[in-house]
Structure 1
């Protein structure tokens, strides 16, 4: 495809800083204004359309390239890569692209990853967690329990913290690293699940059972509780969909 001209650049609010521009360009891509395999407008056309410098445009393109969204090629321009190549676990992309990329497929993939990791991590944590780990997990559970009804943001923040602490308490360095990699996507998945129900009482209850299993150093009970948490999440996500 030939590069688009300035006339084909969609009208958007003028961004004030580079980060606003890269977010605007990312949204334009995910919304299909620049489909997979298409060529983005030339740098000069983007400069004109958004009233920004070429330096800002180039930095934005480098950012999107580092996240797998585009690929720059000499003499052919900047191509939009297939969505399968995008780093959809990246916190910036999830923030910029929002619900357009947090679809049922991504949510299902996050749940599958959790099923593969969390039950075993919980079992390990039952034997390895320090007293401070268990205290931190209990504090996160209390924050879930004490979140005001309807305050889904506070509940999800505490829920995400609970699962970060759990993976850390496993003592497995790979699980700890994985926690950082999937954190943004996990938070989005928890948010979708938590917003699908009117009451969080059951979710609080099953998380409480996991805390108690770690206190008792009962690995089998911890695995069962983790599996029950995941079953609850699966049902809530189905309700959301």
Structure 2
């Protein structure tokens, strides 16, 4: 009979593969987004990219496939991998936004986000005034309280602001608007954090956001639309300040 006290062999834990592919994708994408590889230019050959990043051709090929799926590059026979026109880039894809270097996002993107919000957010708020559940109104108020309590904590303020808008888009109970809200969510978060950093006093933002909460509580669609427009007017002002601050830096 085997010794009952004999030690049981435990297999050694498998070592985790390093995150080579994501790092290579990020590195090449950052060079494209920063303009180091301009639109219309051809990327270095696979062999050159292998040497530059110290990886195999398989990794480089997978990286280029990922970038192609995001609209950043296009492989052309006998030419190579070409950087696509900016209009083809999936600019609000969460990964594409994360691949930007800090403070390198085109200010025009923030303008486009604001235009999109102006087109749909007042209607979203108006619809939410009649359709939001009591729980959604409570969630909206909780997000507003997070903004109010943030004080000088820019990160907490921006996160609470983002949650506020996520709840609002969901509370309109229009699946198309809800998906649009989800589509611009990451880009909106970037915009909110950028403008939050440029605002000295956030009590105005807290006040106008509370107007939406109150309008939903009172089931007043006109008041909800008005409050949403006030939020957007404030966002436009803060965006202009953020741009000026960026130029000065």
The verdict on a shared fold, with TM-score over 0.5 as the criterion, is yes
1:16 and 1:50, CA in 2 relative to 1: closer, same or farther beyond 3 A?
A: farther
Matches within 5 A, 1:113-124: 113-124=116-127
How far has the Cα of 1:223 moved from its partner? Answer: 0.3
Tell me if the contact between 1:37 and 1:82 (Cα under 8 Å) persists in the aligned partners.
yes
**1:50 matches 2:53:** yes
Q: Quick one: which of 146, 149, 160 aligns to 1:146?
A: 149
* TM-score when normalising by structure 1: 0.90
- Distance in 2 (CA, whole Å) between partners of 1:72 and 1:152 is 42
How far has the Cα of 1:31 moved from its partner? Answer: 2.0
- Distance in 2 (CA, whole Å) between partners of 1:133 and 1:98 is 36
1:22 and 1:75, CA in 2 relative to 1: closer, same or farther beyond 3 A?
A: same
How far has the Cα of 1:148 moved from its partner? Answer: 3.6
Tell me if the contact between 2:34 and 2:101 (Cα under 8 Å) persists in the aligned partners.
no
- Distance in 2 (CA, whole Å) between partners of 1:138 and 1:60 is 43
Matches within 5 A, 1:91-110: 91-99=94-102, 102-110=105-113
SS in 1 for 2:108: helix
Q: Quick one: which of 79, 82, 92 aligns to 2:82?
A: 79
- Distance in 2 (CA, whole Å) between partners of 1:183 and 1:171 is 17
| Rg larger for | 2
1:142 and 1:53, CA in 2 relative to 1: closer, same or farther beyond 3 A?
A: same
- Distance in 2 (CA, whole Å) between partners of 1:43 and 1:104 is 33
**1:184 matches 2:186:** yes
* TM-score when normalising by structure 2: 0.88
Q: Provide the residue aligned with 1:172 in structure 2.
A: 174
- Distance in 1 (CA, whole Å) between partners of 2:19 and 2:158 is 31
**1:199 matches 2:201:** yes
Tell me if the contact between 2:154 and 2:193 (Cα under 8 Å) persists in the aligned partners.
yes
Tell me if the contact between 1:118 and 1:226 (Cα under 8 Å) persists in the aligned partners.
yes
How far has the Cα of 1:199 moved from its partner? Answer: 1.6
How far has the Cα of 1:58 moved from its partner? Answer: 1.1
How far has the Cα of 1:70 moved from its partner? Answer: 0.2
- Distance in 1 (CA, whole Å) between partners of 2:102 and 2:232 is 22
**Structure 2 unpaired stretches of 5+:** 1-17, 244-249
How far has the Cα of 1:230 moved from its partner? Answer: 0.2
- Distance in 1 (CA, whole Å) between partners of 2:161 and 2:48 is 45
**1:70 matches 2:66:** no
How far has the Cα of 1:208 moved from its partner? Answer: 0.6
- Distance in 1 (CA, whole Å) between partners of 2:204 and 2:189 is 19
Tell me if the contact between 1:30 and 1:100 (Cα under 8 Å) persists in the aligned partners.
no
- Give CA deviations for 1:121-180 in whole Å, capped at 9, x if unaligned: 00000000001110111111111111141x211111110110011011001110111111
How far has the Cα of 1:50 moved from its partner? Answer: 0.9
- Distance in 2 (CA, whole Å) between partners of 1:97 and 1:48 is 23
Tell me if the contact between 1:88 and 1:101 (Cα under 8 Å) persists in the aligned partners.
no
Tell me if the contact between 1:31 and 1:100 (Cα under 8 Å) persists in the aligned partners.
no
SS in 1 for 2:81: strand
